[in-house]
Amino acid sequence: MLDHAARADLDFVLAWRRRWADTLYPALNEQVAEAGPPPADRKAAAPIASAQPVYPWFAWSERASQKALWRAVSDATADTPAIVLPAAPQGALTLNPDLALPDWYTDWDIHVQPGGVWRADASAHVYELGAKLVMMGGNDDYAFHTSFVTTCCNGLDAPTRLVDLGCGFGKSTWPLKRAYPDAEVIGVDLAAPCLRLAHSKTEGLGLAVQYRQADATTDTGIEASSVDLVTSTMLIHELPRPALEGYFAEMVRILKPGGRVAVLDFQYTGDPVRDHAVTEHGVRNNEPFMPGMMSADTCAMAEAAGLVNARWVAFDERGAGRLDSKAWPVRREWHFPWAVLEAEKPA
């Protein structure tokens, strides 16, 4: 239970982020529109956007509200009891204390979260609460992740094994197990604190999931050609190019022939101002590989690794979930340009 001061801090940060999204971002768009002919693309939008009167507020607020978010969340979770692992779990937790975390993972405080998600047990609690504010309260019940599974991971015929790469504290893994209760579901992550929290929470939900600490871009330790579906949500924009290539290679290795891939992440929308804002978001939010991932031909990379029919489709988190094309509904406010990379391993 949060005390009054913690609640007030969190409410303030949430309100700030909402005003950034629904007031400052539209104001920036309006000022760019009034400044002259529409920019041709995100690179042309950059100097025009940064010359507008509202831009300093827009840019500063994005970074400052993210820093305030972690401070408020750290204060609010400071007294959270240590994670208690269940005595008689249904699933399993396999940690690897000898696993060398890659430099590209530890060199940055991802999302500006002090210490990232891997340094201490407390960081998993901080991330859990912080993720709710990052989604501006729109994913408190994890309906976003449920929509991803119900609209992007449906229709599998009696799968035996499903793998969620970069599972965090498990919110992307639970809906997979609920959708396919008879399948073995494995969540993989680099961060031991997240996996410990995932294991504890998953058991509390009465779900049997196998969690393992491994690098999804090199070797998950999962048996070759054994997996019906590999998913990731919000992982691949955190990977530098060589790691992204390794990720697709590992995915192909573990998939059964005919197995499927559903990767939820971000794509450019074709709206110059929005695409420019997303590029700067990667910089301001300590997500240094995000612009590179969105500029790369990830479908070609997936196919070079051995997948076929690689395509991105748009994802509308407000309910519809997967859309049939790479066209997002027009929205005035800021939103993340969610998209899903789908592909198959040849049968």
Ligand X SMILES: C[S@@+](CC[C@H](N)C(=O)[O-])C[C@H]1O[C@@H](n2cnc3c(N)ncnc32)[C@H](O)[C@@H]1O
**Residues contributing to the site for ligand X (CB under 6 A):** 105, 117, 165-168, 171-172, 188-191, 194, 215-217, 233-235, 238
Q: State which residue, 116 or 272, has the beta carbon closest to ligand X.
A: 116
d(CA 201, CA 197): 6
CB of 232 vs ligand X, minimal distance in Å: 7
CB of 166 vs ligand X, minimal distance in Å: 3
Strands 210-213 and 227-233: unpaired
CB of 290 vs ligand X, minimal distance in Å: 11
Contact 55, 30 (CB under 8 A): no
CB of 98 vs ligand X, minimal distance in Å: 15
Q: What is the largest CA-CA distance in the chain?
A: 65
Residue type, 45: A
Q: State which residue, 48 or 194, has the beta carbon closest to ligand X.
A: 194
Count how many residues are written for the chain.
347
Scanning the chain, the segments in alpha helix (DSSP H) are: 4-19, 25-35, 42-50, 55-77, 103-106, 121-134, 143-152, 174-179, 192-204, 241-254, 272-284, 290-295, 298-304
Contact 237, 205 (CB under 8 A): no
d(CA 250, CA 219): 7
CB of 74 vs ligand X, minimal distance in Å: 18
Residue 200's closest CA among 215, 218, 190, 187? 187
d(CA 204, CA 194): 15
d(CA 203, CA 206): 5
Q: State which residue, 43 or 241, has the beta carbon closest to ligand X.
A: 241
Q: State which residue, 119 or 326, has the beta carbon closest to ligand X.
A: 119
Q: State which residue, 70 or 105, has the beta carbon closest to ligand X.
A: 105
Q: Which DSSP state fits 36?
A: S
Q: State which residue, 145 or 274, has the beta carbon closest to ligand X.
A: 145
Contact 269, 339 (CB under 8 A): no
Strands 308-316 and 321-322: antiparallel
- Give counts: helices (H), strands (E), the chain: 13, 9
Nearest residue to ligand X, scored by beta-carbon proximity:
168
Structure tokens at 334: 């800021």
Q: State which residue, 54 or 117, has the beta carbon closest to ligand X.
A: 117
Q: State which residue, 45 or 313, has the beta carbon closest to ligand X.
A: 313
Q: State which residue, 168 or 272, has the beta carbon closest to ligand X.
A: 168
CB of 313 vs ligand X, minimal distance in Å: 18
Residue 198's closest CA among 172, 221, 224? 172
CB of 137 vs ligand X, minimal distance in Å: 16
Query: Collapsing DSSP states into helix, strand and coil, what is residue 194?
Result: helix
CB of 168 vs ligand X, minimal distance in Å: 3
CB of 31 vs ligand X, minimal distance in Å: 32
